[in-house]
Amino acid sequence: MAIQLLPEDLVARIAAGEVVERPSSVVKEMIENAIDAGARDIRVECVEGGRRLIRIADDGSGIRAEEAALAFAHHATSKLRSVDDLSRIVTLGFRGEALASIASVSQVTCATRHIDEETGALVRIDNGKIMTHERIGRPPGTTMTVEHLFAKVPARLKFLKSVQTERGHIDGIVTRYAMAYPHIRFTLTHDGRQSFQSLGNGNLRDVLLEVYGAPAVEKMIAVGDAAGADADQARDAATSIRVRGYAALPEYDHANRSKITLFVNGRPVQDAKLAYAVIQAYHTLLMTGRYPVAVIVVDVPPEDVDVNVHPAKAEVRFREAEAVFSAVQRAVRQALLAALPVPQPPSVFVDRRVELNVSPPAAGASPTASRSPAQSPLSGAETWERVGIARNAGPLAAPTADAAPSSSIPQPIQNRQLPALRILGQLAATYIIAEGPEGLYLIDQHAAHERILYERMLAARELGQTASQQLLDPVPVDVPADSARLLEAELEMLQGLGFHIDPFGGNTFLVRAVPAVMVQDDIAAALREIIADLEIGDAPLRRDLEARVLRRVCKRMAIKAGRVLTYPEMAALVRDLESCELPRTCPHGRPTMIQIGVSQLEREFGRIV
Ligand code: ADP
Ligand code: MG
């Protein structure tokens, strides 16, 4: 399409605002233009963190000689024609604003040649004024050079940070586009020295190796399509949402969310809710306060996402936000659960004493009882081998030199399930002491019980079999006026969890039934805590809100620290924990147990050095 000025009515509908904030914004806009032009090789050169010079050379389609100056006019674009086009944008650019904005605050030299033309063009613009427009010879493609950014705009110049900081922003932009476009070769140099290069071979894992290094990538597993998963799993049939990428194993976590990298339809986006969906996928796998490391690429049909909400196009709005979030959460969760090994309990450690002394729990007998003692123990080596296969599965995970078996020494990954444990006693009326195949286990009775209750309640909820108990005397509870409105809006959700609560006029509510585990609880106090949880108001998914209420119920009802337990009580608790899906953390992400290996004890006692 030819470059044209956008009509007024269309200009009015485009998210307006400043796009050139710092050198990295220039790099971003120029890279997007190169990608839109079909480039396969994009070279970015910076001097002094981009303040003195930024040069971006691409091998894309180029600009027609007679349009080369027009490209620098405000609202001049070849990518958008009508208001209709706005609802399904397939290019990264569409506003026709970037070149004009950049050229108004710097000296720009554009050398370009369109693939269909014999000669190219050279345009020079000095802070908004066209100085040169002439014909030149050069290969097809475009080279944009931006010098002395903001030199004539002191107000903006003073907001720039150190060369080091600006470099960091540029690195972030280049590496992100390299991850989003693995089939394009990106090269970045700072002050004449190459600092990054991607291969451009289409393999995301290879890009990650360049960005994060081999030790980190070793800890990352393929998600969605990248995992070679069934097309049905990765692609949500109803909404055609596609999720792929890489997610780090829980052991390789990070102190904040900055290592969750997200792309939507080829755009790096900052989306708190989408990031939260990734965090949720690690639910109970990470300690509270720790965050996952992941690169997640989401593709949705262009008409299902609005990219015209932010001038720098860093935010998007989904038509079916919930569906996108749960697709992301599901894909990441699935990949994680598949990668964490599930060893069978070695039969030699099944403890006879536990079996003899403990009468099975009355209702819903623990599945541990049905374990076959004849099952052969799975050796450690076999377990690691299985992890290795899971981690290297999928077409994007071609083996690389760094992933070769010689260098991949098995890393201890937390086993998902527990072996059978032999109870030795209780410590400080708080911890259960037990012995297992890997040595000594100290189990936090409260955290363990929380985990057990939580998984039971979640399972019942999934099956729509939440056990609810009518109260003999309904309990009236007064709540503050704002909370009353909030509670009223959530009564249905709470009903699904076993609470039957009716508005009783004013700000009073009548609690008629509660989840069965709660009958003994102080109902009014419990309801106030639940309202406080609802008021946090940062959970974007309905299911997360439900889970939060369930966690509250479990926390209240779990055995407290400080309670002396009988031997059968401890044994029953540990057995129930053994049958949990994720026995090693409580629903809030804290560990339920500490494990001290025999070899560690031997070291501590100086038996081995
Ligand atoms: P937009 O990308 O929103 O269209 P820009 O101001 O970034 O607006 O670019 C204006 C126009 O200049 C583009 O629509 C495109 O036609 C042309 N252009 C800019 N950079 C390049 C490039 N590297 N290769 C080919 N064409 C380009
Ligand atoms: Mg553009």
Q: Averaged over 419-446, what is the pLDDT? A: 90
DSSP for 172-194, written as a single string: HHHHHHHHH-TTSEEEEEETTEE
Task: Of 26, 160, 42, give the one whose Cα is nearest residue 106.
Answer: 26
Å from CA of 56 to ligand 1 middle: 13
* Fold exhibited by the domain 204-339: Ribosomal Protein S5; domain 2 (3.30.230)
3-state secondary structure of 257: helix
- Residue 479 and residue 504 in contact, taking contact as beta carbons nearer than 8 Å: no
Residue 139 — very low, low, confident or very high, per pLDDT cuts 50/70/90? very high
Where do you find CATH 3.30.1540.20 in the chain?
Answer: 356-450+562-604
Range in 204-208, 364-368, 542-546 with the lowest mean pLDDT: 364-368
Per-residue pLDDT tens over the stretch 572-590? 999 999 889 889 889 988 8
Q: Which ligand is nearest to the CA of 34?
A: 1
Which positions ≥6 away from 91 have C-beta within 8 Å?
36, 79
Residues lining ligand 1, Cβ inside 6 A: 3, 29, 33-34, 37, 58, 60-63, 71, 76-79, 93-100, 142
Per-residue pLDDT tens over the stretch 328-339? 999 999 899 888
Range in 87-91, 164-168, 318-322 with the lowest mean pLDDT: 87-91
482 CB neighbour count, 10 Å cutoff: 11
CA distance 221 to 292: 12
Nearest CA to ligand 1 atom 2: 93
CA distance 82 to 145: 31
Where do you find CATH 3.30.230.10 in the chain?
Answer: 204-339
CA distance 260 to 328: 12
What is the model's pLDDT at position 544?
79
Helices (H), 71-221: 98-103, 154-157, 163-180, 204-212, 214-217
CATH number of 467-557: 3.30.1370.100
Take residue 360 and report the two structure tokens written for it: 């099975």
Looking at the domain covering 356-450+562-604, what would its CATH class be? alpha beta
CA distance 335 to 231: 14
Å from CA of 14 to ligand 2 middle: 14
Burial letters for 346-360: b for 16+ Cβ neighbours within 10 Å, e otherwise?
A: beeebbeebeeebee
Per-residue pLDDT tens over the stretch 533-567? 888 766 557 777 888 899 999 999 999 998 889 88
CA distance 400 to 270: 31
510 CB neighbour count, 10 Å cutoff: 15
* Fold exhibited by the domain 8-197: Heat Shock Protein 90 (3.30.565)
Where do you find CATH 3.30.1370.100 in the chain?
Answer: 467-557
- pTM across the whole model: 0.60
Per-residue pLDDT for 403 more than 60?
A: no
CA distance 499 to 518: 10
Per-residue pLDDT tens over the stretch 208-245? 999 999 888 999 999 986 554 444 444 444 558 999 99
Please choose from 55, 64, 99 the residue to mutate so as to test ligand 1's pocket, defined by most ligand atoms within 8 A of CB: 99
Å from CA of 207 to ligand 1 middle: 26
Which positions ≥6 away from 232 have C-beta within 8 Å?
none
Å from CA of 47 to ligand 2 middle: 22
Per-residue pLDDT tens over the stretch 85-105? 888 888 898 888 899 999 999
Q: How far is CA 449 from the centre of its chain?
A: 29
Provide the strand spans (E) within 368-449.
Answer: 422-427, 431-436, 439-444
604 CB neighbour count, 10 Å cutoff: 9
Residues with CB under 5 A from ligand 2 (ion): 33, 93, 98
Q: Averaged over 592-603, what is the pLDDT? A: 87
Per-residue pLDDT tens over the stretch 260-291? 999 999 999 988 889 999 998 998 788 878 89
Å from CA of 71 to ligand 1 middle: 6
3-state secondary structure of 266: coil
Instruction: Count Cα neighbours of 528 within 13 Å in the Cβ-side half-sphere.
Output: 10
